[in-house]
């Protein structure tokens, strides 16, 4: 909880592609958790990767999240917060928690500088709301690169600083981030930030149980693919909720308000959830019929 006891969650998409259905599901679970706890839902654009982030992708993400019916209490763009990260980096270097490292750049035979966290090489354990106790030995991680230069901080650092400054109480995100968590806990400890509660959601898989990826599955991983097919936003919300969660009853058709009441993080399972277009079409027919009744 934050100092005031309020739940504060964040959705932190990187605008390096169109809104992925996995990211939309993460947004939904964060939103449901915030709403059912009377908490705050923050949208933060993680655009520190200057080469891959674009305004067009950011717009697509904002449009799709709005179309789905989400609204956010606060909005940030990491590219506008460089001074904050610079300040922390300097402090970390001054206190000996981080250092500038001169390194060979292989291709050019040149020397470049990066900033690394001084790894205390320790065991880290954290409680995950979905996965229970998770343990890591950080010795294997070496001294993590946290910035390319003082003005170019990288994801782990910016994410930890922002989560701390924004008072994030619960980090709810995909399981693909679980190996990032020990790195981020080391950074939290270095800057004296408190640890949020973690919940790592199961991956969304294709029917052959492979991870849904743009490289392998093309445009069908983007939410706009379904939007353009005429699937209703309430159908997508409903179907996404069933990817990794079930109510423990026979009910399968839910409105967003019903989900806010029924969703329970304790019922989110660990195993991957298979994305089934036929089931989505079935859910869509149900919502289409409901919309005609009204
Ligand atoms: N920018 C990261 C992503 O899009 C966010 C990860 C996180 O939630 O910390 O996957």
Q: How confident is the model over 133-178, as pLDDT tens digits? A: 999 999 999 999 999 999 999 999 999 999 999 999 999 999 999 9
Does 2 have pLDDT greater than 60? no
The answer to the question of residue 35 being in a domain is yes
Is residue 281 helix, strand or coil? helix
Residue of 177, 180, 203 to test ligand 1 pocket, by largest number of atoms within 8 Å of CB = 177
Residue 222 lies inside a defined structural domain of this protein:
yes
Residues with Cβ < 8 Å from 256, sequence gap 6 or more? 69, 234, 237
Catalytic status, residue 214: yes
**For the chain, first and last CA: distance in Å?**
40
- Reported as a pLDDT band with limits 50, 70 and 90, residue 292 is confident
List the strands of the sheet with 152-153, edge to edge: 98-105, 110-117, 145-149, 152-153
Q: Is residue 185 part of a domain?
A: no
Positive or negative, the Cα torsion across 183, 185, 190, 193?
positive
Residues 93, 97, 100, 106: what is their CA dihedral angle, to the nearest 10 degrees? Answer: -160
Q: What percent of the chain has pLDDT over 70?
A: 97
Q: What is the pTM of this model?
A: 0.95
Question: Which of these is catalytic: 122, 214, 261, 270?
Answer: 214
Q: In this model, does residue 196 exceed pLDDT 70?
A: yes
- Would the pLDDT of 1 be above 70? no
pLDDT band at 213 (very low <50, low <70, confident <90, very high): confident
Q: Residue 255 sits in a domain of what CATH number?
A: 3.40.50.620
Is the dihedral angle over the CA atoms 88, 73, 39, 266 positive or is it negative?
A: negative
Residue 215 lies inside a defined structural domain of this protein: yes
- Number of domains comprising the chain: 1
pLDDT of residue 105: 73
pLDDT digits (tens, 9 = 90+) for 224-234: 999 999 999 99
What is the extent of the structural domain holding 30?
8-77+202-293
Is residue 156 situated within a structural domain? no
Residue having the nearest C-alpha atom to atom 5 of ligand 1: 12
């Amino acid at each position: 909880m934050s100092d005031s006891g309020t739940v504060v969650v964040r959705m932190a998409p990187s605008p390096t592609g169109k809104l992925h259905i996995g990211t939309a599901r993460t947004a939904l679970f964060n939103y449901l958790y915030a709403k059912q706890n009377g908490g705050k839902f923050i949208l933060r654009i993680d655009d520190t990767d200057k080469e891959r982030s674009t305004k067009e992708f950011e717009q697509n993400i904002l449009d799709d999240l709005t179309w789905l019916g989400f609204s956010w209490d606060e909005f940030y763009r990491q590219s506008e917060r460089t001074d904050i990260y610079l300040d922390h980096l300097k402090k970390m270097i001054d206190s000996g928690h981080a250092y500038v490292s001169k390194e060979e750049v292989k291709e050019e035979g040149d020397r470049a500088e990066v900033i690394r966290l001084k790894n205390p090489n320790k065991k880290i354990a954290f409680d995950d709301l979905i996965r229970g106790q998770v343990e890591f030995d950080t010795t294997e991680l070496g001294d993590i690169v946290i910035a390319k230069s003082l003005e170019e901080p990288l994801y782990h650092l910016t994410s930890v600083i922002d989560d701390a400054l924004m008072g994030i109480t619960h980090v709810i995100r995909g399981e693909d981030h679980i190996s990032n968590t020990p790195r981020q806990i080391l950074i939290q400890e270095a800057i004296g930030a408190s640890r949020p509660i973690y919940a790592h959601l199961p991956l969304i898989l294709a029917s052959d149980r492979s991870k849904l990826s743009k490289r392998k599955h093309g445009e069908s991983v983007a939410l706009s693919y379904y939007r353009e097919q005429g699937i209703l936003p309430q159908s997508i919300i409903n179907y996404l909720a069933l990817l990794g969660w079930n109510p423990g009853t026979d009910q399968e058709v839910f409105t967003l308000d019903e989900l806010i009441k029924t969703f329970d993080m304790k019922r989110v399972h660990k195993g991957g959830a298979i994305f089934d277009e036929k089931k989505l079409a079935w859910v869509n027919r149900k919502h289409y019929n409901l919309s005609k009744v009204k």
